[in-house]
Structure 1
């Protein structure tokens, strides 16, 4: 991709709850703790999802040095309820963190929302030379009564937090070498099941139950149908991003993977692509949890700040969301940013 850079990343994560404590008080089933391999999960207090996105945005903007006049687009991605009905959280992020009047829009592509926003922002900046930078944020809070972070999607423990990324046409600490998205809409029913369309949220059940939807979908299609299509689309996204960057899988230094439980991660990524977990974000993400749309940005931010990525290194950002869609991006670190050295 031509002349697109990452000027800064940012994240804001609330305090962690130890999995052993959640098991002891009954919040997390013991079998789930064992199969996911999670150590802790980020759980917010009074903070709302958009407020956590704002905190991450302020950090990313400060790190980038970008002012209000430099931001030409604000995209906010989310997975779950943002705290109000018929409301525009992207405008809230823009008002609270940026303070300008450029277009501000929300991206709703569930767990792939952050990468979908990156793809849209890349195109928006590329088509007009006068456009300088875009701010991408994510923010989610998975809480009762509508969502049980431990049980609503068994195999993945959901976390709260906000992330942000400033994409620039001028300069940055890293270059976006490729970005590929692949969609498989024939799988959209996996998160719909056989439920009829409802007139309002939670019309059919009081709490999200993705496992029930998945069981209903697989009862009709068969598991081999879904597995084959998931594998093919996932492979296409990974191979496409590598090919567009002119690289092989072995050339990648680090991998920012979805924050799934260990069993799902092993089946979908570690085993499938023969990845060493220590070269991925797993050792860190098992202490955070699934951040909805924010996993790839949070993972990259961690790899940069921790020093796991240095000048000349490459990182593959991998993301998947219901629908289903898969996005992969190759990032090349040009230099270790000053703000990472100060952290």
Structure 2
């Protein structure tokens, strides 16, 4: 990605790998960028979306037409920087209005070198992606856009040369390089080793609220490094890329030892692969904070926050035999029957495909953190009795 000083009046063009082109104005930094075009259906929470490491190398199209109303504050980022490769909005706010706002979204994108485009028909673009599927995309503005339509074929060729998301190993690019500790809030009850595959800041905070001391470890942490924390449980975070590229050594070791395990999003996919299930790329994925999921054990329907382009290929209506005992699908998406959760019946391990930390998003799934602490408590009591 190349960028230069922001110029809101500069023309910009969005080019899809299938040749579809949208013309608008520069938003954020001026220059060029490439990534996978995906759309998010969230009407709020754009700051959390932008700073979610799971969006690394993706160009996010906002389906909500008006973006930037509340500006940017210093409290809501979910990581140390903006991770999206590019940003697409229809009608950016001219003036932010919120008591916590410190600067405009346009200025923040520019300061962090994020190339975007505004003033295009995002509804038409979203419908195109729903019909054709997520695909590679480029955004060009300023000096990167030297000519008019005559240059379009060359831009399409450049987009087609960009790397695809399938086969991309990205977790180590977004994870922490050094381990750190998030202390328990109040009385410490448990210690959890959390593998940072692209973790959001609110996730260890949700555990800390429940008396958990969280040791956040790099994505490349070894089995020995995980167990050096003397964990009562192990957490697998969200993250970007293709789960088929990930090393499953640590997860298999945790399952073999019977340490309580909880995974979300990318972590759900890795647990699925460790159990012997496959993963596959969804046509256009699930992204936003309004996705309906059913907990199959209770029948309860939760409105949940999603950000995933891959899913686990596991049978919905049968218990499966795995190397670690029996497993079943615990949650399912009511829009398309995609697997949204897994549960082992003979080991203390479970996962969900969505984001229970609610940053941004509804709080319907907060009970999953309680379920994890209850699981650690049960295993601890059984160990004491043994």
The structure whose residues are more often helix, as a share, is 1
Higher relative contact order (CA 8 A, sep 6+): 1
TM tier, shorter chain?
under 0.3
Q: TM-score, normalised by structure 2?
A: 0.24
Q: TM-score, normalised by structure 1?
A: 0.26
The structure whose residues are more often strand, as a share, is 2
